[in-house]
Amino acid sequence: MQEKTTKNRQNGELFKNILIIVIIISMFIPAISFVFGLDSPNYSKEPLRPFPEKKLDSETGAQFDDWWNDHFPFRSIMVTAYNSLLDHVFQTSGNQRVVVGKSGMYYFEPTLRQYLNAPDLSDYDIARIAESLKLQEEYLLLQGIKLGVFIIPNKATIYPEFMPDRYKPLDNISDLDRLQKMYPSMVDMKQILLDAKKNEDLPIYHLEDSHWTKLGAYYGYNALMDYFSLEEQRIKYQKPLLTDGWQGDLSNMLYPAIQVNDNQVIFEDYEQKFVYTRPLRTYEDIEIESRSEQQKSLLMFRDSFANAWIDLVSNSFGVAHYSRSLPFRYDLVESVKPDFVAIELVERNMDYLLQTSPDILAKKLADSEVAEFSKATSTDKLQINMETTITSNLVFFNAQYIDQNLGEKITSVRIKFDSGIYKALPVYQDDDLTDKSWKYGFSLYLEDTENLPKTIFYMIDDVWYQADLDLIY
């Protein structure tokens, strides 16, 4: 009996020692693998955090931890296994940026607040965006160029029925619907795609990707051609076919170690009839330009949703230039000489329009327009913090209100210089578009001038006010 007890104790000690050795070895496997360059494939498109800068400070340790957590060997296999377990067993997501919906549909988590109708943008914010778009439209019309604005709905806006039941939208009007009301000349892409969804058996958006399919993009293409009255240049494709082989951005976040296989819709009768003016690396290139034998030219300010537009739109314009630059580069108007300008932006990034100041020359008010401001209500001095820079032979004034509570309500701005009164964008140019926060102010571009702004006319709730400007440095 004692001999058996002694043997069991020895076996227990042996197991414990083996377990300790296994744990120790497993702790060193990532480091050893890193030294010898061993790793698993990573197909995710998520940006990885960089190695800390050479200087040492209080943040270096945390930055190194972030870098190692993104780069340690075999991370992609472990992440894939973990997320697969959560998805297929518990129907939930192990990635904070992915929402696992019903019937295998994934959603992009940063769109969740908009799905819930928990608005990120106030009515004042929406009014400022509408004012900025109107000023851009006016700037182009003075040159005989028509502007079209296309806000592409989030996936959950078009396919809400597959969202998890735990998410209950509030009874509020969405940011997109409010902008559609305040800027009615914007193309109603939400209604167009909801109608397309009813009429089509094939998907309008990808199952495992945040973007629309080629079929959804085709309906958007038709809307663009209709808006610019280009029926004769529209090319009709009538043979959509469901295929596979698409690499979904959301499934890549969940399963970075494998090449996922999402559906895509192609048109069997599509034929490319354009050429690129410079080699194309990817559809994500900052600047892309195409030429064909068609008439008319188009300048498009766009994001990744227009990736699926490029093949369709380029076939229909003699020149099509696509720019992902932010702020929008209106200096391209001079080189592209477009007949039309399109702004394409996904619903989740509408706030970018509240934080970027496109380089449009501010319009000077005519004498008849100046008379309107003689009745503006006078107020105390308005303090601003202003930056002045020179870019492309223009002077850029970027001003932030010191009183942000007041600035939050200002939706329209006119600025008086010695040379006259000018229309300003009711937007303060922000350096970080991704933090979902913004400051309130105004900005404008003028031709070279040594004058500083003296007086501001600003609108709150449809009432104009006048104040002298007090520049704080």
Rounded mean pLDDT of 151-163? 98
Q: What is the pLDDT of residues 43-55, one digit of tens each?
A: 666 676 676 776 6
Query: How far is C-alpha 241 from the geometric centre of its chain's CA atoms?
Result: 29
Specify the pLDDT at position 31: 61
Q: What is the pLDDT of residues 387-446, one digit of tens each?
A: 999 887 899 999 999 999 999 999 999 999 988 999 999 999 988 887 888 999 999 999
CA dihedral (44, 46, 47, 49) positive or negative: negative
Structural domains in the chain?
A: 104-354 (no CATH), 367-472 (2.60.40)
Select from 220, 410, 416, 456 the least CA-distant residue to 316. Answer: 220
Rounded mean pLDDT of 62-86? 67
Residue of 81 and 465 predicted with greater confidence: 465
Lowest mean pLDDT among 217-231, 243-257, 272-286, 320-334: 243-257
Confidence of residue 296 (pLDDT cuts 50, 70, 90): very high
Q: Are 207 and 105 in contact (CB under 8 A)?
A: yes
Between the CA atoms of 116, 121, 124 and 127, what dihedral angle is there, to the nearest 10 degrees? -90
Select from 311, 239, 309 the least CA-distant residue to 268. Answer: 239
Residue 14 scores a pLDDT above 80: no
Number of H helices, E strands in the chain: 14, 18
Specify the pLDDT at position 53: 73
Residue of 276 and 252 predicted with greater confidence: 276
Lowest mean pLDDT among 6-10, 79-83, 99-103, 393-397: 6-10
Q: What is the pLDDT of residues 165-221, one digit of tens each?
A: 999 999 999 999 999 999 999 999 999 999 999 999 999 999 999 999 999 999 999
Specify the pLDDT at position 23: 62
Specify the pLDDT at position 120: 86
Strand residue runs (E) in 55-123: 98-100, 106-108
Q: What share of the chain in percent tops pLDDT 90?
A: 67
Residue of 95 and 376 predicted with greater confidence: 376
Residue 278 neighbours by CB distance under 10 Å: 10
Residue 318 neighbours by CB distance under 10 Å: 16
Strand residue runs (E) in 227-318: 240-246, 262-267, 274-276, 287-292, 297-301
**Average of per-residue pLDDT values in the chain:** 88
Q: What share of the chain in percent tops pLDDT 70?
A: 85
Between the CA atoms of 367, 369, 374 and 377, what dihedral angle is there, to the nearest 10 degrees? -150
